[in-house]
Amino acid sequence: MEGRKGDNHGTVPYIIQALKVHLAEALKMLNVIKNGYSTFHSAMLKESKKLPVPLVSELDSYDAAICLHLGVVRETVKQSRSVRTGGGGGGQLHNNSSSFEC
């Protein structure tokens, strides 16, 4: 039995070190995902500014319908798109359990 005590002596520091390594890897992967999304989002915003106003208005209608269906309320923020169309477009979505940023 005494041998078993000795076996467990280094286990906790090893586990803590392993968790730190896995946490660092997870954070790196999350940064890759965040950077990829940021690049994609910027490209899509650039493309959306090229769309004709009637199409943007239609997209805003779809956006409102989806928000209504999901039970979320969009808090609008000032963007170049809202200046062009006079509509919402962009902001944060809120429901009872969580919030989503667009």
- Per-residue pLDDT of 75-88, as tens digits, reads 765 444 444 444 44
Question: What phi, psi does 9 have (nearest 5°)?
Answer: -60, -45
* Overall domain count for the chain: 2
**Residues linked to residue 100 through DSSP beta bridges, in sequence order:** 93
Instruction: Provide the CA 48 distance to its chain's centre, in angstroms.
Output: 19
Domain that holds residue 92: 51-102
- Per-residue pLDDT of 42-78, as tens digits, reads 999 899 889 999 998 998 899 999 999 999 887 765 4
Count each helix (H run) and each strand (E run) in the chain, helices first: 4, 3
Q: Which of 91, 46, 40 is nearest to 67 (CA)?
A: 91
Residue 40 sits in the same domain as residue 75:
no
Residue 43 sits in the same domain as residue 60:
no
Residue 79 sits in the same domain as residue 99:
yes
Residue 38 sits in the same domain as residue 61:
no
**Domain C-terminal end among 48, 66, 86:** 48
**Structure pTM?**
0.49
Tell me the three state secondary structure of residue 99. Answer: strand
The predicted structure's pLDDT at residue 3:
44
